[in-house]
Amino acid sequence: MPRLYDSRKRILVTGGAGFLGSHLIDRLLERGHEVLCVDNLFTGTKRNIDHLHGNPRFEFMRHDVCFPLYVEVDEIYNLACPASPVHYQHDPVQTTKTSVHGAINMLGLAKRLRCKILQASTSEVYGDPAVHPQTEDYWGHVNPIGIRSCYDEGKRCAETLFFDYWRQHNIPIKVARIFNTYGPRMHVADGRVVSNFIVQALKGEDITIYGDGTQTRSFCFVDDLVEALIRLMATEESFTGPVNIGNSREFQVRELAQAILDKTGALSQLVFKPLPQDDPLQRRPDISKAREVLQWEPRVALDEGLDKTIDYFRSVSLL
Ligand SMILES: NC(=O)c1ccc[n+]([C@@H]2O[C@H](COP(=O)([O-])OP(=O)(O)OC[C@H]3O[C@@H](n4cnc5c(N)ncnc54)[C@H](O)[C@@H]3O)[C@@H](O)[C@H]2O)c1
């Protein structure tokens, strides 16, 4: 039941010690809320939330979402899940469990508390898309038995669970389909394209491009993403999503590598390797729905976002 005595909410963020979760928590605390961060620290790190420990409105709980959780909160953001291919392929069975059991446990909690719950879903639900750009009504083109399936199908099943809890139990749900997001606090070794290129450039190593580099990606800066998640949570109860959140400006992976070389002044060479299995060649969100319903669009240009991200990687150990 919603609390009556003030507008401050107690908000649960699962996966809160990770890249996106820690930025979301910063923003929620800035807005005066209390935050409970639940994380098993599989890919997240205490360093991402170290600066919050003196804050009386912040609490950290080490917990695996594959197990039930009994806490009292007003809203839930469910972000717990390794997001980069190296991490989610490390223990694929655990990845599927995190998405599926994690969704069941967090939805069960939302059902008991009758509170709103937001799912951090992904553009990977579209697989290697046959439609460009992707709109939310596209059902996707996903390999159910490949090495990425633990993540893609886990996230698809989590979406199914969210919509079944909404239809069957009337739980207020919000589903965000997040496209490539980058920024400070990305994991140094997560192998995602932006962090990979920056780390390789700062170490003076060759920059590895999979394929010929003409494949395109769209990159959303983390501050824009967090703003969209908070706006989505604040939408009226009848709005469930799914809603695409990302930057619709497309760049070739090659162009990104060159921009990073120019900004870091690195003398690294570009080295080309074969594309990994099921790696999509093109992915770009249609964000019309987010524009209309959330009155949102990305504000941070790649140039500015890359500067902030490079500054972050310069400040941390790259070992
Ligand atoms: N970053 C992106 O570009 C992107 C794109 C699409 C979707 N997403 C989704 O957003 C969410 C956050 O992604 P991120 O980039 O911050 O990744 P991340 O790996 O930095 O964060 C995930 C967090 O979840 C935690 N976690 C993993 N398994 C857990 C478990 N079983 N129990 C409790 N905690 C667990 C990790 O320790 C980590 O802190 C994920 O659900 C991801 O699928 C991210």
For the CA of 180, the closest atom of ligand 1 is 3
Q: Distance, CA 18 to ligand 1 centroid (Å)?
A: 6
Q: Is 19 in the pocket of ligand 1 (CB under 6 A)?
A: yes
For the CA of 220, the closest atom of ligand 1 is 3
Q: Considering only CA atoms, which residue is closest to atom 30 of ligand 1?
A: 64
**What does each C-alpha distance from 2 to 5, 34, 103, 108, 222 come to in angstroms?**
9, 14, 22, 17, 29
Beta-sheet strand order (sheet of 243-245)? 58-62, 34-39, 10-14, 75-78, 116-122, 173-178, 243-245
Q: pLDDT 10s digit of each residue in the chain, 319 long?
A: 555 456 799 999 999 999 999 999 999 999 999 999 999 999 999 999 999 999 999 999 999 999 999 999 999 999 999 998 899 999 999 999 999 999 999 999 999 999 999 999 999 999 988 888 999 999 999 999 999 999 999 999 999 999 999 999 999 999 999 999 999 999 998 888 999 999 999 999 999 998 889 988 889 999 999 999 999 999 999 999 999 999 999 899 999 999 999 999 998 999 999 887 666 667 789 999 999 999 999 999 999 999 999 999 999 977 6
pTM, to two decimals: 0.95
What is the SS3 assignment for 109?
Answer: helix
Q: 70 an active-site residue?
A: no
Q: Distance, CA 83 to ligand 1 centroid (Å)?
A: 5
CA distance 31 to 1: 21
Q: Distance, CA 78 to ligand 1 centroid (Å)?
A: 9
**What does each C-alpha distance from 107 to 80, 143, 156, 160, 188 come to in angstroms?**
13, 26, 15, 12, 32
Q: Distance, CA 98 to ligand 1 centroid (Å)?
A: 10
**Catalytic pick from 126, 151, 165, 182?**
151
Q: Is 103 in the pocket of ligand 1 (CB under 6 A)?
A: no
Q: Is 82 in the pocket of ligand 1 (CB under 6 A)?
A: yes
Q: Distance, CA 81 to ligand 1 centroid (Å)?
A: 4
From 45, 81, 187, give the residue whose CB has the most ligand 1 atoms within 8 Å, as the site to mutate.
Answer: 81
